[in-house]
Structure 1
Amino acid sequence: MQKLMGQLAVQRWDDHRLYHHSRINQSLHLISALSFIFSYVMLFINPVIASLVAWLVSMTTRQAGHFFFEPRGYDYVNNMTDAHKEDIKVGYNIHRKIVLMSIWAAIPFIAYIYPTALVWAVSDRYHDLVSITAFWWLYLGAAGMLFRMLQLAVQDHPLSALAWGVKILTDPFHDVKLYYKSPFFLLKGEMIDPMTHVQSK
């Protein structure tokens, strides 16, 4: 357990210091985190709403922060090129995210054009287009996490894979703790986190 928590701490620290310099990105992660927590609760009440909020609000704000607002040039805080950071990223780098989001975007089109291809994995109560899409988005989220964990277990170590899985599931709570002040800094005109706490380490 101690090794797992140590690995989790390292992954969380690297994720923050390498990929969350933009205050807009941090603020969007806060919105994403709060939406994910709502989805966690709704998963036991209404899985369709949980999935729609998770993917349409949480994932879109989270990924928009990375795609459009996070600086992609040389990282002077960590003395790394963007390409190097992408190579060492434990989770989904930009290339993997594009693949994942492309599958996500394709699901509603498949559900609309050829619903029988997807309806077999959905309860009889949920055979409308929105519900089919929502359930398959839930499956995609689970499959994406398990697939990457399997990759990490083979390429790196099972402990690294387990730590990353725990990190993904607990990121919403951790992101609230990290970024709850980010909107206030953004309103003050600070677009980039100076990361003095990173440089001092």
Structure 2
Amino acid sequence: MNEFMKLLREQRWDDHRFYHQCRINQSLHLLSALSFLVAYALLFVDPAAAGLLGWGVSMVSRQAGHFFFEPRGYDRVNDVSFQYKEDVKVGYNLRRKVVLMGIWVAVPVLLAVSPSLFGLIEPAGETGLLVSGYWHDVGIFWLALGVGGLLFRTVHLFFLQGVMAGLCWMSKILTDPVHDVMLYWKSPFYLLRGQRLDPMEHVAAHEPEAEDVSLT
């Protein structure tokens, strides 16, 4: 268990210092985390609504921060190139995310063209608790895509880095909403003060063992 928690801390630390240097990205991750927490609660009420919120708000805001705002040049904070970070990323790097987001976009298009998905499913009726019909099916498919993407990369990591690394990554992803709220709740205030990039002084101080990274 000690080794598991140590590796989990390392994965969180690397994720923060490598991929969350922009205050806009951090703020979008805060929005994503809060909406993910609501989606978690919705799983017990209406899974389709959870899928719609999880992908329509949480994932869109989360990935927008990475695609459009996070710096892609040489990382002087960590003294590594952007390509190095892409190559060593434990989870989905930008190339893999393009594929995942492409599938996400394709789901509602396919269901709009064929509500039965060419005879593979029975289209939902109008009896959903929060959402029904077309959007119920979209939400369920998006939820399945999220679960499938999580399990696929976890098993993939079993072969690449070992079972513990895969399980740590899965645990990190599932608990990221709580951790991101703790980590980035101040980010919008720094952004409003005109600070676009986190100075990352805690990274320069070499504190990888810190479970809760303190924002500067």
- Shorter-chain TM-score above 0.5: yes
> In structure 1, what residue type is equivalent to 2:155?
L
The Cα offsets for residues 173-199 of structure 1, whole Å up to 9 and x where unpaired, read as 000000000000001000000000001
Select the residue among 144, 151, 171 that pairs with 2:176: 171
Bigger helix share: 1
Give 2:121's aligned amino acid.
W
Asked if 2 retains the 8 angstrom alpha-carbon contact of 1:77 and 1:198, the reply is yes
For 1:54, give the aligned amino acid.
G
User: Which whole-Å deviations, capped at 9, do the CAs of 1:31-69 have from their partners, x for residues lacking one?
Assistant: 000000000011101212211111111000000000000
Q: Is the 8 A contact 2:123 2:134 kept in 1?
A: no
Match of 1:56 in 2: 56
List, as ranges, runs of 4+ consecutive aligned residues in structure 1 with deviation greater than 4 Å.
121-127
Q: Which residue of 1 aligns with 2:151?
A: 146
Give, in angstroms, the shift of residue 121 of structure 1.
Answer: 7.4
Residue by residue over 1:76-111, the C-alpha shift from the partner in whole angstroms, topping out at 9 and shown as x without a partner, is: 000000000000000000000000000000000111
Amino acid at match of 1:156: Q
After TM superposition, the score normalised by the length of structure 1 is 0.96
Q: Does 1:79 align with 2:76?
A: no
CA contact (8 A) 2:30 2:184 kept: yes
Structure 1 residue 4 displacement after superposition: 1.1
Q: Give the unaligned 5+ runs of structure 2.
A: 207-216
Paired with 2:175 and 2:122, the residues of 1 have a C-alpha distance of: 27
**What CA deviation, in whole Å up to 9, does each residue of 1:125-181 have, x standing for no partner?**
567211111000000000000000011001110000000000000000000000000
The reply to whether residue 129 of structure 1 matches residue 134 of structure 2 is yes
- SS in structure 1 opposite 2:166? helix
1:122–1:135 CA contact under 8 A, matched in 2: no
Match of 1:19 in 2: 19
Residue number in structure 2 paired with 1:120: 121
The whole-number CA distance in structure 2 between the counterparts of 1:160 and 1:133 is 32
Q: Percent identity?
A: 51
**Distance in 2 between the 1:49 and 1:92 partners?**
25
**Partner-residue secondary structure (3-state), 2:44:** coil
CA distance in 1 between partners of 2:50 and 2:91 (Å): 23
